[in-house]
Amino acid sequence: MTQLIVEADGGSRGNPGPAAFGAVVRSAGSGEVLAEVGETIGSATNNVAEYRGLIAGLELASAIDPQAQVEVRLDSKLVVEQMSGRWRVKHADLRPLALEAQRIFPPEHVTYTWVPRERNAHADRLLNDALDGKPVSAPAKSELPAGPETITGALWDDAVTTATGPARLPDVQPPEHVSHVDTSDEDTLATGDARSAEGDVDDAAPGARAVTPASAPEQPTTLVLVRHGRTPMTEARIFCGGDTEGPQLDDVGRAQAERAARALAAGTPVALPPGTEPVIVSSPMLRTRQTADMIAARLGVEKVTTDEQWRECEFGSWDGLTLAEITERFPDEAAQWLSSTSSRAPGGESLDDMAARVIAARDRVVERYPGQIVVIVTHSMPVRALVQLTLEAPPSAMFRLRPAPGSLTEIQHYSDGGIALGGFNLRP
């Protein structure tokens, strides 16, 4: 198997300000440069530029060999930790870029290594040259070399060990020739460079540091995702998206919601600590509000918080149609939608778009209610998206997950960034 090394960097002069990235692809065996690119991207933040460099490097590597094993070397700890799955991607501008990077290679084909800045000098030079008016365009596919011969043995083993081992972060100053690039990232702490910091940082809040295990509650934040009860459209297998308020529960759906409420009151899937009241959050759609109200009544909760980010995926022109009707009327669009989570129904949103807003809603809940139990009444696709992300499965796994109406799913979020699936599709 072809084995490649991607070195990438990004930066801006102003943060946000004029920004660029540089990326290099090398043979893992010889270190030979196989392809390189350095381009400006207009005005952007440092972190956006870092991700754009990563995407450019992975795309170059994929053009050489889409089945290659790739080690990515970056001097941005934020990107390394987020792409390795150890930190959450909290900033809205970065989430779609992270998803784009994930789709280029299968996850098992890519490892990420943090390197000091002086070991990323080639990519750094490319980005600075681009900012100085000397960009290097990506080569055409016909100009790229064939994938280098497979490298086996100690050299590749060492690379994998480095990529998967703990990153040690010395206090490294940037080389003098990049001093004119603003390295004060959005993830910079008041006490120094966030590339030396431990823990996730919200890019939207300069100077803010994520909660660390030493100060966070010992109990995880537990999300109990409840899919609403059945509606007439559920029974008829009709697409019913988040564009409108939607239908109400039918008799079976009300019974399912009541069973879910009784299960939660009885401590399934997780028992409430004595004397505590759970938080209940609901999608604003009618069927979820009805389900949430029944749960709140059973648990003695007076207030249900609604958040439109938990609504169902918007299906646009497909709303009110069955899958058979959709494939008959929109054969090409349906085939594309079923094969790619980045595709969307006419007038609707893609599953990737839906997942991005649901992730943002989840992160707000976890941040707002640390160590608490939060019941979230939502829909099929949001539940699928969060389970897929928890399991680190490919996005296409969403098509293979089917939470039943009225079912319960438990996801635990720990203060060190760990996530665990406590149960999926539990049917009271």
Residues in the annotated binding site: 287
The set of residues, in sequence order, having a beta carbon less than 8 Å from that of 368 and lying 6+ positions away, is none
d(CA 90, CA 82): 9
Q: CB–CB of 288/282 below 8 Å?
A: yes
Task: At 115, give phi and psi (nearest 5°).
Answer: -130, 150
Amino acid at 170: P
Q: Which of 362, 411, 350 is nearest to 99 (CA)?
A: 350
- DSSP β-bridge partners for residue 223: 374, 411
312 is a catalytic site residue: yes
- DSSP β-bridge partners for residue 411: 223, 421
Residue 366 tokens read as: 């976890």
d(CA 250, CA 140): 57
CB neighbour class for 131 (10 Å; exposed up to 12, middle 13-18, buried from 19): buried
Residue of 228, 333, 379, 410 marked active site: 228
Torsion of CA 280, 260, 265, 300, to 10 degrees: 50
CB neighbour class for 354 (10 Å; exposed up to 12, middle 13-18, buried from 19): buried
3 state SS of 425: strand
From the annotation, which residues make up the binding site for substrate?
287
If you ran DSSP here, which 8-state letter would residue 136 be given? B
Q: CB–CB of 306/361 below 8 Å?
A: no
How far from the centroid of its chain's Cα atoms is residue 167's Cα?
A: 21
d(CA 50, CA 83): 12
Q: Is the dihedral of CA 395, 396, 397, 401 positive or negative?
A: positive
Cis (ω within 30 of 0) for the bond into 16?
Answer: yes
What would the DSSP string read from start to end of 58-88? HHHHHHH-TT-EEEEEES-HHHHHHHTTSS-
- DSSP β-bridge partners for residue 39: 21
Residue of 36, 50, 312, 314 marked active site: 312
Q: Just list the catalytic residues.
A: 228, 312
